[in-house]
Amino acid sequence: MAKPEKETIFRDILKVLDKLSEDWEYSGEITPDTYVLADLELESIDMVVLGERLEENYKQSLPFAEYFSELSQRESPDIKISELVDFIYDNLS
């Protein structure tokens, strides 16, 4: 399978978020600048689940634990959707 473009990864994230969010509501538009924790009102544990679902989507393991560990070193562990896109793009084989 060819490595997807960033635009495709962004759409994949939206699809996964849409499936995950059946029981919780997010009415705003999700853009590359949307913050996962602050704007979508998710908790850090939800990011872990999001990561697992994205791995299932791409049928490959991605170093999310290392990524989240690095995020926890930052002043704010929140990330923009575009950062998530970059992380997936950089690590997909």
Partner 1 sequence: MTDKKNSTILIGLDGATFSILDPLMKAGKMPCLSEFASSGVRTELASTIPPITPPAWTSIMTGKGPGNHGIFDFFRPESPGSHFLRLVNSKQITCETIWSLLTRQGFQSTCLNFPVMSPPIPISGYSISGFVTWRHLRQACYPPDLMDTLKRIPGFDLKIIGHNFSLEEKVIVGCPPEEAEEWIRYHTLKDRQWFLVLQYLAKTDPCHLSAIVFDSPDRLQHVFWHLLDNSCYPGHPTEEEKKIREFLYDHYCQLDRMIAEIVSTAGPRTNIFIVSDHGFGPSYERLFLNSCLENLGYLTWSEKPVSVEEGTGDVSMDAIRRHGQLLDWSKTTAYVDTPSSNGVRINVIGRNCKYGINSSDYGSFLEKLRKDLEQIKHPQTGNPVITRTWTRNEAFSGSELAPDLTIQLWDHGLVSTLKSNSIIKSRSQCTGVHYPNGIFMAKGPGIRRGAKVDILNILDVAPLLLYSLGLPVPEDYEGNVPVDIFDPDVLKKKPVKRGESTLPVDNLSIPSFEMEKEERDEIIDRLKGLGYLD
CA distances from 76 to 29, 48, 68 (A): 22, 16, 12
CB 5 to partner 1: min, Å: 26
Would you call 22 exposed, middle or buried from its count of C-beta atoms within 10 A (0-12, 13-18, 19+)?
A: exposed
Q: Does 8 bind partner 1 (CB under 8 A)?
A: no
Which residues in 70-89 contact partner 1 (CB under 8 A)? 70, 72-73, 77
- Cα distance between residue 53 and residue 57, in whole Å: 6
**Whose Cβ is closer to partner 1: residue 27's or residue 61's?**
61
User: What does the binding site for partner 1 look like in residue numbers (CB under 8 A)?
Assistant: 20-24, 42-46, 48-49, 52-53, 61, 63-66, 68-70, 72-73, 77
